[in-house]
Amino acid sequence: MGISERMGDVLGLAVESKLMREIAEHPVSVKHLAIIMDGNRRFAWKSNVAAGIGHRIGKEKLEKVLDWVLDINIPWLTVYALSTENLNRPQDELDVLFNLYVEGLKDIADDPRIHANNVRVQVIGRRDLLPQNVNDAIEYAEEKTKDYEAFVFTVCLAYGSREEMIDAIRSIAEEHADGSLPLESIDEQAVSDRLYTGDMPDPDLVIRTSGEERISNFLLWQMAYSELYFTDVFWPSFQKKDLLKAVRTFQDRRRRFGE
């Protein structure tokens, strides 16, 4: 490693340290962070490697980001890993993704850091659309961490927010039809309670990587008043300083909640 690279590393660590200090001292904190992890394939194409390698690097990046979130003490982390629309991708690419989900869920469930920090792992989405080996890995991770409450790590797999809202509407319609849910009881809270995220707070901050500035059928109801942060960095290239900058930007914004 050359002198310029070493200097760059030192400066990078200094920037991270400064941002960490500012985040810790700020009166506003992020309670729930949601991330749209985008750019694995474009990272691979730009790097002239197979798409599967981009996805693998993206999986390894998520493990690092989880560590960073624990460092910042954000109690809820939700990531968009696979949308229902993504299920239309070529089967060979899906097979690579499914194998990475199995590997990643088992690795996380067995990671001492998860247990040392009391992290509960959960998966939301249309599990019926996922292969059995992925469902087995989901059950393994959820079972091993089910008693933890300090942090909650949620992975959205085969997830689509419109589908989620349709399921909530059907549930409300059924309960109203059988007389267990009076018409006057159908309000915002009634809808929120019946979403896949019913036991979770709405996200404070939503980050999307790769330069795309859209939310792609992700937590449409839940992010009504979330702060959005877009970065040009592809997900595999996302660094701790990028996360810290997003959090600091959030802290300096004045949330209006529609006012």
Task: Tell me the catalytic residues.
Answer: 38, 86
Burial of 25 (0-12, 13-18, 19+ CB in 10 A): exposed
User: What's the chain look like in SS3?
Assistant: CCHHHHHHHHHHHHHHHHHHHHHHHCCCCCCEEEEECCCHHHHHHHHCCCHHHHHHHHHHHHHHHHHHHHHHCCCEEEEECCECHHHHCCHHHHHHHHHHHHHHHHHHHHCHHHHHCCEEEEEECCHHHCCHHHHHHHHHHHHHHCCCCCEEEEEECCECHHHHHHHHHHHHHHHHHCCCCCHHHCCHHHHHHCCCCCCCCCCCEEEECCCCCCCCCCCCCCCCCCEEEECCCCHHHCCHHHHHHHHHHHHHCCCCCCC
The two three-digit tokens of residue 100, written as one number: 């990475």
Backbone angles phi, psi at 50, to 5 degrees: -65, 150
Q: How far apart are CA 100 and CA 123, in angstroms?
A: 15
